[in-house]
Structure 1
């Protein structure tokens, strides 16, 4: 498989990249700076220096790929909500239908207020909602895209260790889920490339 990965230098994205390379996939990564990438990189990695907010950079990165994973974060910016339309447009231009993204548990449905998302309800413990609002905008764009999307929505995300033992639930955070490690989140996200279990679904993940 030829995979395009956004956010490859981030906490979750760097683990996803390791999974893809271990399985022998060809990976294209678009990064602002290659300095944060592990060296040396194998031959099946194509590194493009650019910006997800630049339409031409995204279009170039999208050429010849089979699927997309976005592990873009928010980090106090609007990069996610501004970059997602460019990613989706390039996918449609290139005939790429599958995209898996990493979101946040805040955009899952609330159990206490089913008409609201978690970040909009009393279920959320987060006082600041800016990051969830960014992910909400990306979710709405994916919903309207007509593409085969999956949003993996982790709750509190410490670095932690890999366990391979976690719970997932469509559209909701698993009951009493408190945290999930970065390595376990990355593994589940990566596995969705070969799965149709959660097409056009948000998936909560927690221990």
Structure 2
């Protein structure tokens, strides 16, 4: 399968890239600095560019079967600003499947009906800036024609790879407090071959 990975040099994205190459997929990554890509593989194509530049997105996405986005917020609006161009490019190219990394803040609240976790008393974050960015991306995907899945981890330390975690559609598993980067990446990668969570957010935690 031909897969475009965005955010491939980040904490979660680098693990997803490694799994995709180990799975013999043909992977293209779009990065601002090609020197930051540690992986080397005959099935890997590294394209230098910016997700905020439409021509760079179009160049990277051509010929892909699906997109995996591990783009973060990092104090910027890159996530919400790039998503419209990503969606438009995918729709124009006839690419239907996108899997993204979100945050547990955009899952449904268990305690306050009609609210997301970051809007409710469930949120433990002092600032909602990152959650608002992910919320904008969620709304854009929800209103698109794409087959999207948003993987929503809670507190995300580097941690160990255990393959033992709980998942729940649209909610964070009860009393879920953390999930490691490797386990989040594993679940995200597994969605390439899964269709159980199409057009859904997925909470993931231990």
Relative to the length of structure 1, the TM-score reads 0.99
Query: What is the match of residue 36 of structure 1?
Result: 36
Deviations 1:65-92 (A, max 9, x none): 0000000000000000001111101001
The corresponding residue for 1:98 is: 97
Mapping 1:140-159, distance limit 5 Å: 140-159=139-158
The 2-side partners of 1:45 and 1:14 are apart by 13
Moved over 2 A (4+): none
Alignment of structure 1 residues 65-76 onto 2, 5 Å: 65-76=64-75
Residue 132 of structure 1 aligns to a residue whose secondary structure is helix
Alignment partners' CA distance in 1, 2:86 and 2:160: 31
Distance 2:44 2:86 in 1: 19
CA–CA separation in structure 1 for the residues paired with 2:157 and 2:137: 23
Tell me, yes or no, if the aligned pair for 2:91 and 2:145 is still in contact at 8 Å.
no
CA distance in 1, matches of 2:35, 2:119: 38
Unaligned runs of 5+ in 1: none
The question of whether the paired residues in 1 share the 8 Å contact of 2:27 and 2:45 is answered with yes
How big is the shift at 1:37?
A: 1.0
1:102-121 alignment, distance < 5 Å: 102-121=101-120
SS of the residue 2:92 aligns to: helix
**Residue 15 of structure 2: aligned partner:** 15
For residues 35 and 78 of structure 2, the distance between their equivalents in structure 1, rounded to whole angstroms, comes to 20
Q: Where do 1:1-207 residues align within 5 Å? A: 1-39=1-39, 41-207=40-206
TM-score w.r.t. structure 2 length?
0.99
